[in-house]
Amino acid sequence: MSIVVVGFLAYDTIETPNGHAEDVLGGAASFFSVSACFFAPVSVVAVVGSDFKREHYQIFTDRNIDLRAVAKREGETTRWSGRYHEDLINRDTLELNLNVLEGFKPELLPDQRRSDYIFLAPNDPALHLHVLDQLSSPKIVCADLYDYWIENTRPGLIRELKRIQILLCNDHEARLLSGEHNLVKAARALLALGPTTILVKRGEYGVLLFSRDSTFAVPAYPLEEVVDPTGAGDTFAGGFMGYIARSGKVSQAVLRSAVVYGSVMASFVVESFSLDRLLALSWDDVDNRRRSFLELTDPHHPRWTSQS
C-alpha cells in the first residue's frame, strides 16, 4: 500500500501580499509526501545538494517517509523564488535554479519498482517514461501536468498518457493539451488519450473529477486567510493518492472520498508558508476539517435538515 513519489525537493523564497519567506523547504515531493503520509507509507525519489539541511531530512524521517532513493549530490539544492499577485493566484517566477536536478535520472530501488501507487510530479515526459519503464505492474500511476511540457514535448507526453491511470492538470493545461475550450469536451478528449480519470484543479474554485461514466465536482474550502498558495496542488495530490493507497482499491466511491481528503489537506497548507501548517497538523485536525468540508458541500446535511 505504499506510495512512491518522483519529484523534487527544493528551497523556496516566496513573497505574498501577506508576508515573505526565505529559503524554506519546498518542492512537489516535500508537499506531496508530508500530506500523503497521513494516510499511507511514502517513499521519495529525488535529489538534493550538499546544502540540504539535517533538520529537513528529519522532517521526513520523523514521519517514516522513506528517503533511501533521495540522492545527495555535490552542489546546491534546487532553488525557486516567486512573487504572488494581490489575488494570491497569479505569480511570477523570479528565479529558478535547477542546480543538482540538472541531468538527474531517477533510479528506483527494487522494492519501489514493485510499488502499486506512483505519483509523478510535473517534469519532462522523457523522465516520466524512464520511471514508467522501471515499474513492474503498478495499480495506479498518477501524473501531474505542467504547461511547459505540453508546449515543448507533446509527442512524449502523448506516449506517457497511454501508460498512466490518473492525470492531474489545471483548467489551462486541460484546454492546452486537448485543444478544447469547454472543460467537459476537454476532459473527454484527454480520457481518449489513455487515463481513466482526469482531475482538473481549479485553485480557489475547487476540483473536477472526470471518469468515463461519472463526473464529480467539489468547491475549495473557503478560507479567511490564505498566506501562501505554494504547494497546494502537490498537497492535494498527496491527500488524494494517500487515501487511494490506504483504501487499496480504486472505485468511484474511493476516488470521490480521495478528492475530499485531497481538498482538505490543500486547505491547510495554504494557511502558512512552506510546510509549516502540515507539520503542525494532527489527525483530529484533518478529520474535523473533513466534517466541515462535508457540511459545506452537502445540501441535505443532517445539522441543518434536522432543524427544518
Task: State which of positions 194-213 bind its own copies (CB under 8 A).
Answer: 202, 205-206, 208
- Stretch 87-126: interaction string toward its own copies, x if CB under 8 A: x---------------------------------------
Note whether 287 binds its own copies by CB under 8 A.
no
User: Whole-number minimum distance, CB 74 to its own copies, in Å?
Assistant: 45
User: Whole-number minimum distance, CB 191 to its own copies, in Å?
Assistant: 13
Tell me how many residues contact its own copies (CB under 8 A): 43
Q: Using CB under 8 A, which of 4, 5, 44, 218 touches its own copies?
A: 218
By beta-carbon proximity to its own copies, the closer residue of 13 and 297 is 297
Contacts by residues 147-154 (CB-CB < 8 Å, ≥ 24 positions apart):
147/172, 147/173, 147/176, 149/122, 149/123, 149/124, 149/125, 150/176, 150/177, 151/176, 153/124, 153/125, 153/126
Cβ-contact 110, 43 below 8 angstroms = no
Note whether 226 binds its own copies by CB under 8 A.
yes
CA distance linking residue 71 with residue 48, whole number of Å? 6
Note whether 298 binds its own copies by CB under 8 A.
yes
Note whether 86 binds its own copies by CB under 8 A.
yes
Note whether 300 binds its own copies by CB under 8 A.
yes
Q: Give the Å distances, CA to CA, from 271 to 222, 232, 240, 284.
A: 11, 10, 19, 17
CA distance linking residue 257 with residue 240, whole number of Å? 8
Cβ-contact 156, 165 below 8 angstroms = no
By beta-carbon proximity to its own copies, the closer residue of 96 and 192 is 192
Q: Using CB under 8 A, which of 98, 126, 127, 296 touches its own copies?
A: 296
Cell of 190: 484527454
User: Whole-number minimum distance, CB 279 to its own copies, in Å?
Assistant: 24
In angstroms, the first-to-last Cα distance of the chain is: 44
Q: What is the DSSP letter of 222?
A: P
Q: Which residues bind its own copies (CB under 8 A)?
A: 86-87, 181-185, 202, 205-206, 208, 214-219, 222-226, 249, 251-254, 256-257, 259-260, 294-301, 304-305, 307-308
